Chains A and B, each alone.
Chain A
C-alpha cells in the first residue's frame, strides 16, 4: 500500500502544486479566457498521458520511437521552451504590457506537458496490482489499490489547496513563488533529459554525469525545495489572518470578512497538512516500505558426522523452518524446509536463490515470499530449480528424518559470502 502511495505522490504531487498555482495565477492575469486556455492545456495533457499509457502498455510504438526516456526528452524540450516564453511574458504581463494571450497559451502548454510527463506512469500502476500472484479479491490487491487512491486524493487536495491559496494572496507574490517552483522543476527536468541522453551516450562527459548523478540520487530534494517555496503562501495567509484589518460598515459585513478568512485559514491548513503528509511519505513511510523483513531465527537440529538430521515432527506444521550449518570456511549456509500443503512431501532448498542471492525467504499469510523481490513462491514447486525458487540442495529421507548432507551445503557456501 505504502509503495503506491509514495510512488503516486512522487510522480504527481509536484505537478499538482504547479498546476494549482497556475490555476490561481493565470486567470488573475488573463481572466476567464486565460482559465479556459489553461484548462484546454490540462485536458490535452491528460489526453496525451492516457494515449501514452495505452500505447506503452499495449504496443511497441513508444519503444520503437526511442523508448519512454526519449519521449520524456521530447516532452521536456517542449516544456522548457514553454517555460522560457512563459517567463518572458510573465514579466511583460507584470509590467502591464500586452501579451496576455501568449502568456496564457504558454502557461497552458507548460501545464499540459507537466501532466503529460507525470501522469502516464501513474495511470499504469493499476496494471501491476494483480502481479505477484495477487488475485483481484486479495488483501494485497486491495491495499495496493488503497495506496494508489490515497495518493491520488492527496494530489487532488494539493491541487485544490494550491489553487485556493494562490488566489488569496497578492498577484506578484503568487507569480514569484510559482516562478521559483517552475524554475526548480525546469532545472530538474533538464537534468532528467540529460540523464536519458547520457544513458544513450548521446551526450557524454564527467561534468554531465556528475550533475545527473547528483540530481538522480537527490530527486526528493527537489520535491522538498518546491514544497518549501509553496508553503510560503499558506504561511503568509495564516499570519495575515491573525491580524485582519479590513474595514466594514455593519456586522453582516464583519461576519462576511470573518467567514472569508476562516475559509482562507482552512485552505492554508489543508495545504500545509498535505505537505506534511508528502514529507511523511518521502521519509517515514518510505523507511517503513523499504524496511527489510527480519528473518525468523535459525532452528536447532541434530548434527551428525556427515549430515544434518531434522525430524519430521519438527517441521510438519506447514510453516517455514530455517536451519543453518557453518562450513569449515566459517560461512553460515542457511536452508529452509516447509511441508507442502495437502501432501506428505517437503519443500527443501537453500535460503537463497539464483536471482536475489542470500536475501532469504519469509512466511507471510501462509505463503513463502522472497525477501528481496517480494515474489510469492508456489510452495509446491519449492525443491525444484528455476526462477526465484530456493536453490536446490541434495537431501534424503531416513526413518522419520530429513537428512541434509554437509557436502551439499559446503558446495553452496559461495552463495552466502
Chain B
C-alpha cells in the first residue's frame, strides 16, 4: 500500500518536472525563433559597436514588422513593456506597451554609415484598429535604452485587434540637422532627394496585437 503511494507520488512529481522542462523547451523555441529585429540590431552593431546585444540588454522585444525600406532608412518596429523614462515620464500605470521604431541607415550619400542609427528625425506614429478608428497617435520621443538610442513612446493600447501602424518621418533638417554641401567634405547627397515630395512614411497592415501581462 505504502509502496503504491510512493510510486504514485514519484510518478506525479515526474510529470510536473517534465512539464517544467516543457516550459523550458518553449523558451528555447522562443530564442531559436529568428527574430529579424535582433538580426537588424546585430547588423547595426557592426557600425555602432556601443549598443548591447538585445539578449544582454535584459528585455524581450516583440516584433511588429522588420526591415522595411523607407528612402535611405531601414525601419523596424517592436514593442515591449511600458518603461519609465527620465524627465517626468516615469509613470507607466496607464500604458500597455512601449512602442519602438528602429531606424538605421541603408547605403546612402548622406554621410551615414551603413546601419547607423539616424538622429534628428521627427517620427509620428498612427495606430488604426480594424474598424478604421484611430487607436493611438503621437510623436515618438528620442531616447536611449540598454540596446542603444531609438525613437519610442509608451502607448495605451488595451484592446486586442488587428492594427495598422504608420510611421511618418520628417526631414532631419526640420530639427536643424545639416549636411556639408562642398565637394571636399560633403557626402554628396542632400535630404531634398528623399523629402522633395514631403514626409516619408511606412504603413504596416496586419499587426495582430493582444495586450500582454508584463
Contacts and interface: CB of A to CB of B under 8 A. Distances in A.
Interface residues of A, number: 58
A101 B16 contact: no
B178 to A, nearest CB: 20
Contacts of A132: 90-91, 93
Contacts of A375: 88-89, 91
Given A85-B15, A213-B160, A354 B138 contact: yes
B5 A101 contact: yes
B31 to A, nearest CB: 8
Nearest to B146: A60
Contacts of B19: 77-78, 81
A74 B23 contact: yes
A195 B212 contact: yes
A323 B9 CA distance: 73
B12 interface: yes
A211 to B, nearest CB: 10
A389 interface: yes
Interface SS of chain B? mixed
A291 to B, nearest CB: 13
Interface string A73-92: 11001100110010000000
B93 A69 contact: no
Contacts of A128: 93
B23 A77 contact: yes
A239 B94 CA distance: 44
B139 interface: yes
Given A78-B19, A374-B93, A101 B8 contact: yes
Contacts of B20: 74, 77-78
Contacts of B214: 67-69
B12 A106 contact: yes
A186 interface: no
Interface string B76-101: 00001100110111111111000000
Contacts of A400: none
Nearest to A193: B26
A109 interface: yes
Given A68-B213, A388-B89, A213 B5 contact: no
Interface string B19-34: 1101110110111010
B7 to A, nearest CB: 10
Contacts of B141: 354-355, 387
A142 interface: no
B210 A216 contact: yes
B153 interface: yes
Contacts of B35: 201
**Most central of B4, B63, B213 by chain A CB within 10 Å:** B213
A355 B210 contact: no
A197 interface: yes
Nearest to B28: A66
Nearest to A106: B12
Contact of B59 (A63, A70, A109, A373): A63
A30 interface: no
Contacts of A60: 58-59
B208 interface: yes
Contact of A198 (B55, B94, B95, B210): B210
A64 B5 CA distance: 39
Contact of A131 (B58, B93, B154, B156): B93
A356 interface: yes
A374 B91 contact: yes
Contact of B27 (A70, A192, A356, A386): A70
Interface residues of B, number: 56
Interface string B184-214: 0000000000000000000000001111111
A102 B4 CA distance: 11
B159 interface: yes
A24 interface: no
A66 B153 CA distance: 22
Contacts of A378: 88
Given A131-B93, A132-B93, A105 B213 contact: no
A65 interface: yes
B59 A67 contact: yes
A105 B16 CA distance: 11
B60 interface: yes
A347 interface: no
A77 B88 contact: no
B45 interface: no
Contacts of A68: 81, 213-214
Interface of A: 3, 60, 63-70, 72-74, 77-78, 81-82, 85, 98-99, 101-102, 105-106, 109, 121, 128, 131-132, 192, 195-202, 209, 212-213, 216-217, 354-357, 372-375, 377-378, 381, 386-389
Interface of B: 4-5, 8-9, 12, 15-16, 19-20, 22-24, 26-27, 29-31, 33, 35, 55, 58-60, 62-63, 80-81, 84-85, 87-95, 137-139, 141, 153-154, 156, 159-162, 208-214
Given A67-B60, A377-B88, 16 more contacts: A63-B59, A67-B214, A68-B214, A69-B60, A69-B212, A69-B214, A70-B30, A73-B23, A77-B22, A78-B20, A101-B5, A102-B12, A121-B213, A131-B90, A202-B30, A202-B33
27 contacts: A3-B93, A60-B59, A63-B59, A65-B27, A69-B213, A74-B20, A77-B22, A78-B20, A81-B15, A101-B5, A102-B9, A132-B91, A199-B62, A201-B33, A201-B35, A217-B159, A354-B138, A355-B138, A372-B94, A373-B91, A373-B95, A373-B156, A374-B93, A375-B88, A381-B88, A386-B88, A387-B87
Give 4 nearest A-B pairs by CB, closest first: A74-B23, A60-B58, A216-B160, A67-B60
